[in-house]
Amino acid sequence: MRFVNARCSRKIEYIAATLGVLLLTLALVFVGHTSRAQAAAVPDCKASQLEVAVGQGTNGFAGNLGVPFLIVNFGHAHCKLQGYTKFRFYSSAGILRRIIVTRLPGSQVYRKVRAVPIVLGPSRVASFGLTYSDVGTAPSGPPSRCLVQAVSIALPIPQSQEYVLDLHINACLSNFRFGETAIQPTPMPKQA
């Protein structure tokens, strides 16, 4: 009799553990996703409630690198944002105007994501990614025309301010071409 109860008990534990993992997975998938109707009722984010930072680490694969950026809502209310950021890159000599940033259909670093409305709750984090290649040949000449030392980011919100962050990239190796993902409701951009 005891043997039967032990087997039943293990089955129940297994089923409970499986159900717990399933519920946790579903919760993680749906965090940050909002229907268009719900998003329409939420006000746009304001620059005063958001902060932007460079995420930890650089992701990469076969000479393609990615830099994660984080958007944190430090405000006390939910707000929404959607779309793509605008970048300006700076070297020690000033703005690097030759750099072209394209919207990614997907890359070897980050997955393709659609630009959808994201409701960002207080103390919540959204993200986007910047990708580039580092396998080109650097031309000769002054390094000031190649070395990115800072990036200015403008978010797709009304009356956005520019967030200036340290970022060190040799733009010559990427042929002055970068790609970006849409803002997404996850704490890190989705990996490819």
Q: What pTM, to 2 d.p., does this model score?
A: 0.76
pLDDT band at 81 (very low <50, low <70, confident <90, very high): very high
Q: Is the pLDDT of residue 86 over 70?
A: yes
Contact 170, 146 (CB under 8 A): yes
**Using one digit for the tens of pLDDT, what is the confidence trace for 20-39?**
433 333 333 344 445 556 66
Q: Could you tell me the residue ranges of all domains in the chain?
A: 1-30, 35-180
For 19, the enclosing helix (H) or strand (E) is helix 2-30
Token duo for residue 81: 């944002």
Say how far apart CA 21 and CA 65 lie, in whole Å.
Answer: 32
Percent of the chain with pLDDT over 70: 73
Domain 35-180 belongs to what topology? Immunoglobulin-like (2.60.40)
Task: Report the pLDDT value the prediction gives residue 62, as an integer from 0 to 100.
Answer: 73
The neighbouring-strand residues paired with 170 are 147
Mean pLDDT across 185-191: 91
pLDDT tens column, 117-165:
999 999 999 999 999 888 776 666 666 778 999 999 999 999 889 999 9
Closest CA relative to residue 81, chosen from 112, 59, 52: 52
DSSP conformation letters of 41-78: TSPBP-GGGEEEEEPSS-EEETTEEEEEEEEEE-SSS-
